[in-house]
Amino acid sequence: MARRTDRHSSLMRISEAARAVGISKQTIEYYIMLGLISPIRPEGKRTRYFDRALVQRIRLIHRLNRSGYTLRDIRETYLRNR
């Protein structure tokens, strides 16, 4: 794993965030594509990072979806309350 600067030491990469939530990287990619989440991308870098709040949001989206809410409903509610 690449070394991170102190400024990014509490941030996770997509694989770490996926592991923390218990879902696949592809699921997180799908949430990004749908506009449900926006990872942190430092200027000039390709790597996307996820802070604790974003990981909690991913966890919430996943739980709501497993509880029967559609991703469309989640997106509309999330964007409305943003």
Structural domains of the chain, with CATH? 9-80 (1.10.1660.10)
Range with the lowest mean pLDDT among 12-16, 31-35, 41-45?
A: 41-45
Calculate ∠ Cα 57-26-55, nearest 5°. 20
pLDDT at 3: 47
Task: Judge whether 62 and 27 are in contact, CB under 8 Å.
Answer: yes
pLDDT band at 9, cuts 50/70/90?
A: low
Instruction: Report the alpha-carbon distance of residue 44 to residue 23 in Å, rounded.
Output: 28
Q: Is the pLDDT of residue 6 over 60?
A: no
Q: What is the pLDDT of residue 77?
A: 87
